[in-house]
Structure formats: C-alpha cells, structure tokens
C-alpha cells in the first residue's frame, strides 16, 4: 500500500506568521515551490500561503508586501493527513476539496507536503486523471 510517507516532499520550508509576504515570496522563488506553510512562534501550523494569495490578495489589492505579515493572508483552514494515509484517500481528499497541496502532519509536527507534482510522479495515471477532473473540471 502506497502512503503519504512514500510520496511526500520532506524538505518543507515554512514562514512564521510574522514574516513578510516578501519573505514568503523569496522562499518560494528560492526553493521553486508555490506555497509555504505558515507557523506560529510555538511551531504550530496556522495556515498556508500560496503564490496566488500573494498576487491576488497582496499585489492586486495594493498591499505593501514588505509590511504585510504572511499570517494576514494565510489560509487558516489547512487540510492535513498523517504520513500513513493511503494514497487513494489522499487523492480523494485533494480532489473533493479541490486543493493542489496537502500538508502531512505527524501529531503536531509538520513532516511533509504533497503537491500535484508529487501525485503525477508517484500515482497511477488513472488516479491522476481522476484528481485532475475533480480539481480542474469545474463545470
């Protein structure tokens, strides 16, 4: 059985909720990722901020990106799975919620992240097709 642990990226970079959107964008650029989890001072996951969030809710809204904290834009409801979650359930979760990234948590510890690229690399083609239809096939 393939699990989240088998396909997740473990080199997850995070930003603190007090770091600026510029810091988040630089981190995304430097590590070629489209989203970073946002953490509180105690390490607790408080949300996720995406490159799209920065553009739409930051740049297009006229915010000063250097003065806006990542925590202000972080999407507070973040879907998570355990490292032992079955791949079929992961694909279903991401598809049902129409999300492109899924955070992997072991208890309260962030241990990985699954992106649509991880699915494309590690999941059977028919399951990837189902995922794409669910996420992008909004009619």
State the average pLDDT over residues 37-60: 91
Q: What is the mean pLDDT of the chain?
A: 90
User: What does the pLDDT read at residue 138?
Assistant: 57
DSSP 59-84: ITTT--TTTSBHHHH-BS---EE-TT
The residue with greater pLDDT, 130 or 41, is 41
State the average pLDDT over residues 91-114: 91
The domain spans of the chain are: 4-136
State the average pLDDT over residues 30-51: 92
Site of tokens 């699954």: 114
pTM: 0.86
The residue with greater pLDDT, 18 or 127, is 18
The residue with greater pLDDT, 131 or 38, is 38
Spatial separation of the C-alpha atoms in residues 35 and 101, rounded to whole Å: 8
Spatial separation of the C-alpha atoms in residues 106 and 116, rounded to whole Å: 21
CATH code: domain 4-136 is: 3.10.580.10
Q: Is pLDDT at 139 greater than 80 in this prediction?
A: no
pLDDT > 70: percent of the chain? 98
- Cβ partners under 8 Å of residue 122, min gap 6: 2, 6, 7, 87
């Amino acid at each position: 059985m393939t699990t989240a642990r088998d396909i997740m990226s473990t080199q997850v970079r995070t930003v603190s909720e007090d770091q600026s959107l510029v810091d988040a964008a630089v981190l995304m650029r430097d590590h070629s990722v489209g989203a970073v989890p946002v953490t509180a001072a105690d390490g607790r996951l408080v949300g996720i901020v995406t490159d799209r969030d920065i553009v739409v809710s930051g740049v297009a809204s006229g915010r000063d990106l250097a003065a806006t904290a990542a925590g202000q834009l972080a999407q507070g409801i973040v879907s998570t799975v355990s490292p032992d979650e079955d791949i079929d359930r992961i694909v279903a979760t991401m598809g049902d919620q129409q999300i492109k990234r899924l955070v992997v948590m072991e208890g309260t510890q962030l241990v990985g992240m699954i992106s649509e690229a991880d699915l494309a690399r590690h999941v059977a083609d028919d399951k990837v097709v189902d995922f794409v239809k669910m996420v992008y096939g909004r009619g």
